[in-house]
Structure formats: structure tokens, C-alpha cells
Structure 1
Amino acid sequence: MHHAEHVMGTVVSIDLADNLPQADLRAMIDDVCGWLHEVDRRFSTYRDDSEVCRLRRREIEVADCSADLRHVLEACADLWRETDGYFDAYAAGPLDPSGYVKGWSVEIASARLVEAGSVNHCVNAGGDIRARGLSASGAPWRVGIRHPWEADKLSWVLAVSDQAVATSGTYERGDHVVNPRTGEPARGLRSVTVVGPDLALADAYATAALAMGEAGIAWLAKLAADGYDSALVTDDGRAFSSAGLPAAV
């Protein structure tokens, strides 16, 4: 079963490849969509009544926030330390945990599907992907990584099963990632893709590496030992990938 949902400022595609009754699959999709809309209501930086915006305006204190928001704030603080400050939820000024929230919310969505009985599915939120099991063809899920200059071409095709894929780049949304050291838009890398076991971390690592610029190439290479492989394209067109990248044959 396939479903596309407009939420969190993007289109989220949900593909379920389990041999289960249609009613069960529909209920799973409804649950996931409900969760994603809840995340949007609470974490959106564009909704004045969201929990994040209320915290920004100091209408509520951290102690009064939901357990999910407190978790996100703690995770962002941990990532700030782990990335030497390059993943910074305050890089552009006010609190904006979006670089963690989208990947985290899709990771939770996938976990909810597993709990409901789906072991073969793929959730794609605007290029942040969590895949489990196999596709309907019985093969790993194939994920195309867009060429950063030619929209109708691909730089890599990945074959993933029980993995997450996150891509951060400047070719679609422009200068949306800031180097927190300089306060200026990130420069040096055009596209960063990270593949690993957890989408929340993969998403944050891709954002941090993009903020680092070319220094992110060596930084990401060290994460391969922890199960996070990567593929990058620089602003001048050079391509790099780690040895364990699950490229499709």
C-alpha cells in the first residue's frame, strides 16, 4: 500500500510491503499520519501556537514542556557537543530544532509501524528515509540520491534494508544551513548523504557535515566505524563516498 501525506512542509511517502489485510495497513498509515501531524503542530517554527514557538517567546519554561520536546532539546545539546558545535539548534538565532525533528519523527513513525506489525516498509519525508525489511519485489529498497546540479539525474543509487538515509544539500532550499562559527551560509559541500541505523542521527550528521564545509568529509569518514556511511559532493563537483556505502549493483 502506498500513501502520500502533505505534512511538516513536505510530502511524506509511506510504502507498506507487508502481506496483511488492507484494513490493517490503512490503520497503520492513519496512525503514522496522525503522529506526523502531531509533530508538526508541536514543533513547527511557522505556527505561532506550536510548543516550540511558545518556548521561544518564553510563554512556557523547559520544565513545562512535553517529554518529547525535552527529549529533542537534550538530543540537540548532545549533538552540539558531539559535532563540536556544528550542529546547533540556535545557529540562525532563535531555537530551531528542525534539523533533528524531521529525522526523529520519521524514525518514531517507523518504530510505530513495527509495533503495529509492519516489518517491510519505507517512509520518505522529503529525502529523509527510514526503510525496513524488503520492498514489494522482495529486494532491498532502492533509494536514488539526486544529482546536485542536474535534477533529472542521480549521483548514487542505494539498496537499503533496515537502514536510514538522510540527505542535506544547498541545491533545493538554497542557503538554509548556517556555519555557526561564522554566522554565514555553509560553503564547501553541495550535497551530503548519510546512511546508518538511526534516521534522527543520520539527519543531524548530514546537517553538521554540510555546516562544516570540506572539513565534513574527514569528520564523516570517522563515523563509518559507528555504522554511518556517507556520500558527498563538493561545491566544485568532486565526489566522495565511504567504503561501506550500500550502493546498488
Structure 2
Amino acid sequence: MGFPVSLRIDDIDGTDDIDVVSEAGDAVFTWLREVDERFSPFKAGSEVSRYGRGELPAARISPDLVEILGLCERYRVATGGAFDARLPGRGFDPCAIVKGWSVQRAAERLAAAGAGRFCLNAGGDVVVGGGPWRVGIRHPEIADKVCTVLELTDGAVATSARYERGDHILDGRTGLPATGLLSVSVVASTLTEADAVATAAFAMGTDGVEWAAGLAGCEVYAVDAGRGVVRTAGFPSAGVGAA
């Protein structure tokens, strides 16, 4: 899937039995490997690639892909086309939706297996249960600094930024890199929503901060290209690092 994944489990049904914990953790990584095989646009035989080439009739599309397609369309419409999984010349690429969706599904499997306290980190996007957990938001320009720390009990936070992959998020309205923000972090009840909203807001530029902040259940921390910081009143900060 192109990003590192780490998992910490502190409690499974009130036990610290290593076999139970290991089984739950193995199930998470098995699921994420399955997602990579099925939904990667970089693998010619994946369901996403075959769909993008028009090789799958509607009757053969899996329920999971139907859900992904619905989420892609939801955020395309909501952002006026700034977020778009079908950019000209690039083929169908739903990675911005699939990442948060798949990791949230993994977290739900952990909870169903009895995980009472856990932290699942997928390339800096985090979903937790049984907190409180303290999560640092990386400074967009200084790799070894955080710009804020937040506290989560049950929920998720996702960050879209330019510091790891450069100008990789495009504004679907122009086809050009989105450069109005240095980073935007979104807290929501699920990583499906947090990750999609963070990416969509980044694609919209500075207008995306207000859009994301207006969504029910979302809290936002953003740094714009002029290094100004916007933080919604409900953003669950536990402390502030270098700004």
C-alpha cells in the first residue's frame, strides 16, 4: 500500500495472552495485504485496475468497491470537483479513499476481536481505541518537530501534507498541484472520514479548511502556505510543540 503500518495492542478482552494478541494483530495485516492486492491501481490485475480499464461489468463489482466508488463520488461532489479519483491522464485512482477506509476496517476488526486498547498507525494516519492516547502532528517543514499534540480516546486523525511526497495531491478542478496549504489534519470518529476529508480539504487549498471545519464531527488543524495556523475550537489538543 506504499506506507508503513504499526500496531500496538495493550488489551484483548481483559487479557495480555500473547497468542490472542498476536492472532488479532496478524488478522489486521492479512486484511491490509488483501486490500493492497484488490485495490491498488498500480497492480494490473487488481479489481481497481480492471474496473478502471472497463473490464468489470457492474454485476461483477464487489460490494467493497461499490462502497469505495460511492465515497469517491460523495467527496467529488462535496468539493466541487477539487477531490477527484478520476483525473485526466492518470486513470482511476481511489487510494485517497482506500487508505483510510481499509485501516478503519482493520480497527473495527480489532475491536470485534476484543481489543480494548489499541493504536493503529498507517503512515502517520492514526485510529485508536480505549484511550486516552497522545498523538503528535508532524511539523510540515521540520521533520523532527511536532507542531501540536492531540489526545484521543476512541477516534482517528489523518494528515495530508506535502512534506513526504511533494506536490502529489492535485486539485481536480485545474489538474495542477494543490499548494495553498502545507498540511491539514482532521480528527473524526473514523479514519475513513478523517483521511478523506483531510485529502479533500488539501486539494481545495485554503478554502478547504473552512469546508472541513463546517462538517459535523470534524475538527481541523491546518498550516497554510504563509505558515499561518488555523485550529478549530474543538480540536483536542493536549499540548503545543514548535510552530
Q: Same fold (TM over 0.5)?
A: yes
Q: What residue number does 1:215 align with?
A: 207
Contact persistence 1:122–1:131 (CA under 8 A): yes
Matched, 1:151 2:147: no
Aligned length: 235
* CA–CA separation in structure 2 for the residues paired with 1:86 and 1:198: 22
Per the alignment, residue 142 of structure 1 pairs with: 134
1:129 and 1:61 map into 2 onto residues whose CA distance is 35
Unaligned runs of 5+ in 2: none
SS in 1 for 2:85: coil
Give the distance between the partners of 2:87 and 2:6, measured in 1 at CA.
Answer: 29
Aligned to 1:10: 3
Deviations 1:120-146 (A, max 9, x none): 111110011111112xxxxx1111111
Question: In the TM superposition, what are the counterparts of 1:57-96 in structure 2 within 5 Å?
Answer: 57-91=53-87, 93-96=90-93
Cα shift at 1:74: 1.3
Tell me which residue corresponds to 1:179: 171
Using the TM superposition, give the Cα deviation of residue 175 of structure 1 relative to its aligned residue in structure 2, in angstroms. 1.1
Match of 2:109 in 1: 112
| Aligned-pair identity (%) | 47
Q: Which has the higher contact order (CA 8 A, sep 6+)?
A: 2
In 2, distance between residues paired with 1:28 and 1:86? 38
Map of 2:158 onto structure 1: 166
Distance 2:57 2:167 in 1: 31
Aligned mate of 1:204, from 177, 188, 196 = 196
Deviation, structure 1 residue 80: 1.6
Question: More deviation in 179-188 or 86-95?
Answer: 86-95
Gaps of 5+ in 1: 1-7, 135-139
Distance in 1 (alpha carbons) for counterparts of 2:3 and 2:58: 28
Aligned to 2:21: 25
Deviation at 1:196, TM superposition (A): 0.8
Cα distance in 1 for residues equivalent to 2:219 and 2:185 = 8
In the other structure, the counterpart of 1:44 is 40
Deviates more, 1:62-71 or 1:157-166: 62-71
